[in-house]
Structure 1
Amino acid sequence: MATTDRHSATLALAHALSAAERGLPVIPLSPTKLPALPSPHRHDPEPAHCRGECGLLGHGVYDAASDPVAVRALFAAAPWATGYGIACGRPPHHLIGIDLDTKTAATGGTDSVAALRQLALQHLFTVPETVTVITPSGGRHLWLAGPPDVVVPNSASRLAPGIDVRGAGGYLVGPGSVSAHGAYRLAPGSAELAPAPCPSALLRLIAPPARPHHPAPARAPRGQGLVQFVLAAHEGQRNTRLFWAACRAYENGIGEALADALTDAAVRTGLTEREARATIASAARLTGR
Structure 2
Amino acid sequence: MSKLGRLGQAALAAAEAGHYVFPLHPRTKFPAVEKWEQSATRDPEQIRQWWSARPYNLALACGPGGLVVVDLDDAHGEPAPEPWTGATGGRDVLARLAAKAGQPVPTGTYTVSTPTGGLHLYFRAPAGAKFRNTAGTLGWRIDTRACGGYVVAATSVRDEGYYRAVNRAPIAELPEWLARALTPPPPPAPSAPIVLPTQRASAYLRKILEAEADRVAAAVPGTRHATLLAAARTLGRLVGGGALSAQEARDTLTAAAAGHVGVEGTTRAEVDRTIADGLAYGAQLPRRIDTTRSAR
Cα distance in 2 for partners of 1:11, 1:107 equals 38
CA change 1:148–1:62 in 2 (3 A) is: farther
Equivalent residue, structure 1, for 2:91: 113
Q: Equivalent residue for 2:162?
A: 183
**What is the DSSP-based 3-state SS (H/G/I as helix, E as strand, rest coil) of the residue aligned with 1:89?**
helix
1:153 to partner: Cα distance: 1.1
2:101 alignment partner in structure 1: 123
* TM-score for the superposition, normalised by structure 2: 0.56
Superposition deviation, residue 171 in structure 1: 0.9
**Are the equivalent residues in 1 in contact too, given 2:4–2:48 (CA < 8 A)?**
no
Alignment of 1:249-288 (within 5 A): none
Aligned residue identity for 1:79: R
Query: In angstroms, what is the RMSD of aligned CA positions?
Result: 2.5
1:72 aligns with 2:27: no
Q: CA 1:209 to 1:71, structure 2 compared with 1: closer, same or farther past 3 Å?
A: farther
- Deviation, 1:15, is 0.8
TM-score by length of 1: 0.57
The equivalent residue for 1:101 is 73
Separation in structure 1 between the aligned mates of residue 2 and residue 47 of structure 2, nearest angstrom:
18
| SS of residue paired to 2:180 | helix
Q: Which residue number in structure 2 is paired with residue 12 of structure 1? A: 7
Which one-letter code corresponds to 1:34 in the other structure?
F
Q: Distance in 2 between matches of 1:33 and 1:104?
A: 20
Q: CA deviation at 1:135?
A: 0.7
Query: What is the CA-CA distance between 1:104 and the residue it aligns to?
Result: 1.7
3-state SS in 1 of match to 2:130: coil
Contact 2:8/2:55 (8 A) holds in 1: no
Per-residue CA distance 1:198-232 (angstroms, 9 max, x = gap): 11111111132355899xxxxxxxxxxxxxxxxxx
Compute the displacement of 1:152 (Å): 0.9
Runs of 4+ residues deviating >3 angstroms? 6-9, 105-110, 209-214
Given residue 33 of structure 1, which amino acid in structure 2 is its aligned partner?
K
Q: Deviations over 1:42-82 (max 9, x none)?
A: xxxxxxxxxxxxxxxx2123211112122223335x6251x
User: Residue 21 of structure 1 corresponds to which residue in structure 2?
Assistant: 16
1:118, 1:8 → 2: CA distance? 46
Residue 136 of structure 1: CA displacement? 0.8
* d(CA) in 1 for partners of 2:31, 2:61: 11
- The amino acid that maps onto 1:64 is A
Report which of the two structures shows the higher radius of gyration computed on alpha carbons. 1
Matched AA of 1:198: L
Q: CA deviation at 1:115?
A: 0.6
For residues 140-195 of structure 1, the C-alpha deviation after alignment (integer angstroms, 9 at most, x for no partner) is 100011113111111112211111111101111111111222111111xx22x211
CA contact (8 A) 2:79 2:88 kept: yes
CA distance in 2, matches of 1:23, 1:143: 14
Q: Is 2:83 aligned against 1:87? A: no
> Paired residue for 2:131?
152
Residue 265 of structure 1: aligned partner: none
- Please list every run of 5 or more consecutive structure 2 residues that lacks an aligned counterpart in the other structure: 81-86, 191-296
Deviation string for 1:10-58 (max 9, x for gaps)?
2111111111110111111122211123xxxxxxxxxxxxxxxxxxxx2
State the SS of the aligned residue for 1:90: helix
Contact 2:28 2:157 in 1 (8 A): no
Identity of aligned residues (%): 35
Could you say if the C-alpha distance between residues 20 and 114 of structure 1 is closer, same or farther in structure 2, counting changes exceeding 3 Å?
A: same
CA distance in 1, matches of 2:185, 2:76: 31
Q: Which letter maps to 2:157?
A: V
Match of 2:174 among 195, 198, 201: 198
